Amino acid sequence: MDVVEPVDAGTPGAPPPPPGMGRVDRPPPSTDAIRAFLATVRRRLMVRAALRTAGYGVALLGAALLLLALIAASMGPAAFWPGVTTGVLGGLFVVALVAGLWRPARAMRHDRAAARHAGVLLPALASDLLSAVELASPDTPDPRAAAVSARLILAFQDYVAGSVGAVDARQLVPLRPAGRAIAAGVAAIGAVIVAVALSPMMARGLRTLGHRPSLFEGAAVSAVPLVGDVRITYHYPGYTGLAPRTVDGSTGDVAAVKGTRVRIETHPLRAARRALLLLGETGEKGEITASLSDNTLTAELTLNEDASYRFWLQPALGRAVREARSHHLTVEGDAAPRVDIMGPADRLELATPRPIEIGYSASDDYGVGTVELVYRAGDRPEQRVLLRDGGGARTVQGRTLWDPASVGLGNAERIAYRIEARDRDDVSPVPAAGIGKSGTSRTLYVIIQNPHESLEDRLERQRELLEKFIGDLAARLEYSAGAAQGPEVFV
């Protein structure tokens, strides 16, 4: 029986619909059954496509990863490897996603396309299924436009719905073909793991792909020289008093006192758009930018510690290159001043305080600064007396008259004194006592007896000492005489 829904009266004044013509608010049950069958087939087909895409996609990515690792292991680290790896793997992922999922989903988004795919899997119903879908399509005139044809169409749709209802969509679209793809993906993952575990070269290549190397690591090693003869200009620290010096035809090694500014000039032997000096044996101490102008490479640095450097060149196209052998940066030692002292005696005893004449001499490679007399009375803090400023002279000599009475002594107190000189080094760390490194002489001593002690007391102590010495001498003489006579013999 044909089920006809009530017809909307429509807009007032509009012509009445033809007899038997009506509007369907919902599709008949047979159409719902056909669409549910097609939705199940579409879902199964998309699941199978997703599994195949995942399996073969992983296999393709694994093969590409191993190939890139092999190439990276042979070429070595480079700055472009992370970008190349991301680009290649990302591109393959997008291609697999588009080809394996997006295109099938787009192709089967309509019921007609799903009916065609189902017809391929179910050839006996291919034509009927497609016709039923087309008759139920919204852009097809209402099948009940004529009472007779409507019954036939609905009967046909009921027949198709009953036919597809007896078909199990899970068996119609099996997922077993996707098993080969999954196996291929698992095999690719296993191949990557085995390559990393058993092949050090492949493991190194895989690390290289994800490692962003330093400038030193990422540069190729040149077997031939990168630059010609090197010209080095030394600008010494001001305290040395040395004029600038230029060395032509140098090998590139630098040796100078700490704080020297060095200018390096040379000619690159290959075209380059960028040049650096890589500091340290592996570039671990940074880099210095070099300027390129008229085929001349120029770089400047300040010599503060022993190190090394290599020339690094970046061509207009291609990989950067560095030298195989490093050039040395050597800090020459600046010794402390050498100081000598001349006094009346190493240990001088005075009955009463009186002035002492002290001579001294000091010398330094790059000039003597201040010269001081340093003394300490007993356990008191050290005291300093400025003798002179050497003014940068290489050698300084002089004499001074020093009066110990100015110290303020106790009874029989000892005074230790020496001469200390400093150079004018303002580059090295500044000690607490002043600028420059210090050199010191040997230490001399002066002992001043108690000035308040009377002459009679001193004479009495000397008599006691004399008597003690005489008693010891007499005892020694008596012992020597008895030993010479020998033992007595009784008969």
Domain shared by 90 and 141, yes or no: yes
pLDDT value at position 9? 40
Are 297 and 268 contacting, i.e. CB atoms less than 8 angstroms apart?
yes
- Residue 319: pLDDT over 50: yes
Domain that holds residue 411: 338-448
Domain shared by 364 and 273, yes or no: no
Domain shared by 138 and 253, yes or no: no
Look at residue 491 and tell me if it is in a domain.
no
Residue tagged 């009506």 (tokens)? 22
pLDDT tens string 18-50: 444 444 445 567 777 777 877 778 888 888 889
pLDDT value at position 454? 54
Look at residue 463 and tell me if it is in a domain.
no
Calpha distance 130→153 (Å, rounded): 13
pLDDT tens string 51-60: 989 999 999 9
Are 14 and 141 contacting, i.e. CB atoms less than 8 angstroms apart?
no
Q: What is the CATH number of the domain that holds 233?
A: 2.60.40.10
Domain shared by 64 and 178, yes or no: yes
Residue tagged 């150079």 (tokens)? 423
pLDDT value at position 139? 56
pLDDT tens string 158-191: 777 777 777 777 777 788 878 888 999 999 999 9
Last residue of a domain, one of 332, 359, 391: 332
Domain shared by 178 and 246, yes or no: no
Long-range Cβ pairs for the range 464-469 (8 Å, 24+): none
| Structural domains of the chain, count | 3
DSSP state string for 129-150 = HHHHHHHTSTTSPPGGGSHHHH
CA nearest 110: which of 137, 135, 87? 137
Rama region for 181: left / alpha / beta (φ>0; ψ in -120 to 50; rest) = alpha
Last residue of a domain, one of 314, 332, 350: 332
Residue 400 phi/psi, 5-degree rounding, is: -145, 150
Are 38 and 137 contacting, i.e. CB atoms less than 8 angstroms apart?
no
pLDDT value at position 431? 56
Q: What is the largest CA-CA distance in the chain?
A: 186
Domain shared by 67 and 137, yes or no: yes
DSSP state string for 347-380 = EEEESS---EEEEEEEE-SS-EEEEEEEEEETTS
Residue tagged 């007609």 (tokens)? 112
Domain shared by 176 and 151, yes or no: yes
Highest mean pLDDT among 139-148, 240-249, 352-361, 445-454 belongs to: 240-249
Domain shared by 326 and 344, yes or no: no
pLDDT value at position 88? 92
Domain shared by 236 and 348, yes or no: no
pTM of the model: 0.60
Look at residue 487 and tell me if it is in a domain.
no
Calpha distance 177→181 (Å, rounded): 8
Question: Rounded to the nearest 5 degrees, what angle is found at the Cα of 93, between the Cα atoms of 57 and 71?
Answer: 85
pLDDT value at position 491? 39
Domain shared by 266 and 384, yes or no: no
Look at residue 366 and tell me if it is in a domain.
yes
Sheet containing strand 395-402, edge to edge, reads: 338-342, 356-363, 395-402
Last residue of a domain, one of 332, 367, 392: 332
CB half-sphere exposure, 339, CA atoms < 13 A: 26
pLDDT value at position 465? 80
Look at residue 19 and tell me if it is in a domain.
no
pLDDT value at position 392? 87
Domain shared by 118 and 136, yes or no: yes
Calpha distance 47→173 (Å, rounded): 10
- Residue 96: pLDDT over 70: yes
**Residue 157 DSSP one-character state:** H
pLDDT tens string 431-472: 555 567 889 999 999 887 765 555 566 677 778 888 888 888
Domain shared by 365 and 393, yes or no: yes
Q: What is the CATH number of the domain that holds 355?
A: 2.60.40.2550
Look at residue 453 and tell me if it is in a domain.
no
Look at residue 457 and tell me if it is in a domain.
no
Look at residue 468 and tell me if it is in a domain.
no
- Residue 10: pLDDT over 60: no
